[in-house]
């Protein structure tokens, strides 16, 4: 029996007759949670979010309540800002896009509650430059919400004022990194800031306290207010609460986005029961579980994890790739991460040298160039992989690749360093024979190879 989806954020998305218009949203009970929130005290909402255990859906999985807790109203002499990170540029990830394009008012309602809770009067939605239509949809939704007084001055008859502006990026991956995003929003080149001291909660937008949250994270806020933090915390598993939108791309029969309670199903159940199995009945070779920067997991590997028994005690367990539950903690225990929820499935015909080369081209192009290990290293990894791929490998290239990657991770200003090093570190070690064969001039080990990384890449919209 396949595990049923738990559609909380995507409850109405793709339902026949459900539109982006405010009248439709109101018909389905929209903005009721905002009205409820406005009867509560801001700190009480923050307390509910802490109780809910909600972790950020943008990549790092950081506790949302704890992040909000860093904004200390008593110490603030400057205005507090909130930024919705709608950059969604991690390859393999396309969930925020579903929300923005098909249920924009849900995001606005979540943002309005988050802003009210944290005494924010000015917020921004920083949207990926390629989402031209998405920006237009959001702008229309903001105008509608203002006309109905769910945004603007005196929201829903209270004394609370809030303005939300949409800001379009120019299509750079690094603008998704929160401090790069803030620089870009300030009108500058998106060079990430060094932390400390530039933690957004302390020195964020215009050097003021700033909350940066992902689209999906902010949508969750309205559901936490609706059901209460304790009820929300019952969804999912302890420390991995709520639901998660998962984007599946690659070699499965039915790719797409799905929503499940966190940890409710394993990688194998997702591939076989939800996505119809591996394409053409072929064998599973590898999975990237959290967007292209997550470390690759190889079929046949064994992972040591901690698992909770029914009596509450913890036991050490060894599991295979298909048995990994899709939650933050277990994926971290496998050495990879839940990241942005983008799950890329690769079958036995994928040539790992070519897949990694494809990833490396992306990261070399997207490095902001501010720090030397990342700027030079990402380019060198791309060049080495290019020569391996095209039959011009050197015998020591495998070691060299690993060495370059090891000298990037942990040595840069922002986590892009890890994002570009982790794929290389994991692919080269786990599929060493494929890389060595190329390095020694013996060509691909695959008789019928299929090289490009099988991710969904949204086309630039021209609206």
Q: Are strands 80-86 and 210-214 parallel, antiparallel or unpaired?
A: parallel
Whole-angstrom distance, CA of residue 392 vs CA of residue 184? 40
Q: How far is the CB of 298 from ligand SF4 (least distance, A)?
A: 27
* 194 versus 440: smaller Cβ distance to ligand SF4: 194
Q: Which ranges in 53-94 belong to alpha helices (H)?
A: 64-69
**Contact residues for ligand FMN, defined by CB under 6 A:** 56-60, 62, 85, 87-90, 173-174, 176-178, 212-214, 217, 414-416, 419
Q: How far is the CB of 380 from ligand SF4 (least distance, A)?
A: 13
Question: Tokens at residue 157, please?
Answer: 């008859």
* 190 versus 451: smaller Cβ distance to ligand FMN: 190
* 81 versus 416: smaller Cβ distance to ligand SF4: 416
Q: Tell me phi and psi for residue 326, to 5 degrees.
A: -85, 75
> Pick from ligand SF4, ligand FMN, none: which does 176 bind, CB < 5 to 8 A by kind?
ligand FMN
> Pick from ligand SF4, ligand FMN, none: which does 59 bind, CB < 5 to 8 A by kind?
ligand FMN
> Pick from ligand FMN, ligand SF4, none: which does 137 bind, CB < 5 to 8 A by kind?
none
Exposed (0-12), middle (13-18) or buried (19+): which is 231, by Cβ within 10 Å? Answer: middle
Task: Please provide the DSSP assignment of 240-275 as one string.
Answer: EESEEEEEEEESBSS-EEEEEETTSSBHHHIIIIIS
Cβ density class 12-49: b for 16+ within 10 Å, e for less: bbeeeebebebeebeeeebbebbbebbeeebeebbbbb
> Pick from ligand SF4, ligand FMN, none: which does 58 bind, CB < 5 to 8 A by kind?
ligand FMN
> Pick from ligand SF4, ligand FMN, none: which does 85 bind, CB < 5 to 8 A by kind?
ligand FMN
> Pick from ligand FMN, ligand SF4, none: which does 426 bind, CB < 5 to 8 A by kind?
none
Q: How far is the CB of 362 from ligand SF4 (least distance, A)?
A: 12
**Contact residues for ligand SF4, defined by CB under 6 A:** 174, 192, 367-371, 374-375, 412-414, 416-417
Residues 304, 333 contacting (CB under 8 angstroms): yes
Q: How far is the CB of 185 from ligand SF4 (least distance, A)?
A: 17
* 270 versus 337: smaller Cβ distance to ligand FMN: 337
Whole-angstrom distance, CA of residue 30 vs CA of residue 37? 13
* 153 versus 383: smaller Cβ distance to ligand SF4: 383
Q: How far is the CB of 340 from ligand FMN (least distance, A)?
A: 7
Q: How far is the CB of 403 from ligand SF4 (least distance, A)?
A: 18
* 250 versus 290: smaller Cβ distance to ligand FMN: 290
> Pick from ligand FMN, ligand SF4, none: which does 113 bind, CB < 5 to 8 A by kind?
none
The dihedral through the CA atoms of 64, 67, 73, 77 has a sign that is negative
Q: How far is the CB of 181 from ligand SF4 (least distance, A)?
A: 12
* 354 versus 418: smaller Cβ distance to ligand FMN: 418
Residue nearest to ligand SF4 (CB): 374
What is the 3-state composition of the chain as percent helix, strand, coil, each rounded to the nearest 5?
40, 15, 40
Distance of CA 345 to the CA centre of its chain: 17
Q: Are strands 284-288 and 297-298 parallel, antiparallel or unpaired?
A: antiparallel
> Pick from ligand SF4, ligand FMN, none: which does 88 bind, CB < 5 to 8 A by kind?
ligand FMN
> Pick from ligand FMN, ligand SF4, none: which does 89 bind, CB < 5 to 8 A by kind?
ligand FMN
* 166 versus 321: smaller Cβ distance to ligand FMN: 166
Q: For 360-364, which contacts have Cβ atoms below 8 Å and span 24 or more sequence positions?
A: 360/385, 360/420, 360/423, 360/424, 362/91, 362/173, 362/292, 363/416, 363/419, 363/420, 363/423, 364/420
Question: Tokens at residue 181, please?
Answer: 């995003």
- The CA-based angle 243-247-249, given to 5 degrees, is 155
> Pick from ligand FMN, ligand SF4, none: which does 98 bind, CB < 5 to 8 A by kind?
none
Q: How far is the CB of 293 from ligand FMN (least distance, A)?
A: 7
* 88 versus 397: smaller Cβ distance to ligand FMN: 88
- 3-class secondary structure, 323: helix
Whole-angstrom distance, CA of residue 454 vs CA of residue 441? 26
Q: How far is the CB of 384 from ligand SF4 (least distance, A)?
A: 18
């Amino acid at each position: 029996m396949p595990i049923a989806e738990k559609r909380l954020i995507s409850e109405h998305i793709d339902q026949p007759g459900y539109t982006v218009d405010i009248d439709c949203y109101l018909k389905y009970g929209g903005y009721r949670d905002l009205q409820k929130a406005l009867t509560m005290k801001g700190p009480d909402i923050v307390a509910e979010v802490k109780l809910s255990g909600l972790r950020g859906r943008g990549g790092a999985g950081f506790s949302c309540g704890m992040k909000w807790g860093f904004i200390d109203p008593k110490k603030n002499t400057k205005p507090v800002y909130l930024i919705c990170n709608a950059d969604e540029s991690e390859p393999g990830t396309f969930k925020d896009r579903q929300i923005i394009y098909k249920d924009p008012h849900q995001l606005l309602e979540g943002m309005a509650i988050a802003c009210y809770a944290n005494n924010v009067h000015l917020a921004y939605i920083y949207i990926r430059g390629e989402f031209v239509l998405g920006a237009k949809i959001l702008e229309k939704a903001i105008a509608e919400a203002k006309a109905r007084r769910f945004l603007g001055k005196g929201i829903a008859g209270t004394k609370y004022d809030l303005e939300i502006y949409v800001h379009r990026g120019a299509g750079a991956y690094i603008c998704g990194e929160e401090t790069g995003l803030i620089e870009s929003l300030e009108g500058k080149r998106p060079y990430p800031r060094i932390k400390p001291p530039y933690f957004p909660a302390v020195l964020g937008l215009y050097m003021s306290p700033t909350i940066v949250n992902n689209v999906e994270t902010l949508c969750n806020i309205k559901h936490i207010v609706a059901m209460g933090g304790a009820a929300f915390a019952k969804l999912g598993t302890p420390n991995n609460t709520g639901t998660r939108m998962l984007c599946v791309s690659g070699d499965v029969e039915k790719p797409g986005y799905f929503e499940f309670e966190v940890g409710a199903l394993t990688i194998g159940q997702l591939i076989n029961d939800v996505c119809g199995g591996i394409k053409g009945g072929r064998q599973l070779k590898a999975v990237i579980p959290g967007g292209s920067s997550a470390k690759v997991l190889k079929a046949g590997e064994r992972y040591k994890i901690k698992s909770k028994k029914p009596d509450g005690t913890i036991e050490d367990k060894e599991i295979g790739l298909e048995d990994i539950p899709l939650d933050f903690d277990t994926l971290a225990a496998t050495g990879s991460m839940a990241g942005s929820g983008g799950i890329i499935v690769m079958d036995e015909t994928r040539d790992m040298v070519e897949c990694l080369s494809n990833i490396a081209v992306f990261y070399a192009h997207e490095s902001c160039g501010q720090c030397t290990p990342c700027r030079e290293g990402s380019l060198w990894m791309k060049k080495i992989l290019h020569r391996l791929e095209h039959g011009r490998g050197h015998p020591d290239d495998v070691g060299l690749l690993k060495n370059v990657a090891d000298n990037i991770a942990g040595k840069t200003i922002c986590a892009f360093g890890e994002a570009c090093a982790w794929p290389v570190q994991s692919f080269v070690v786990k599929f060493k024979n494929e890389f060595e064969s190329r390095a020694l001039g013996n060509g691909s080990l695959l008789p019928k190879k299929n090289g490009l990384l099988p991710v969904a890449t949204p086309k630039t919209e021209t609206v």
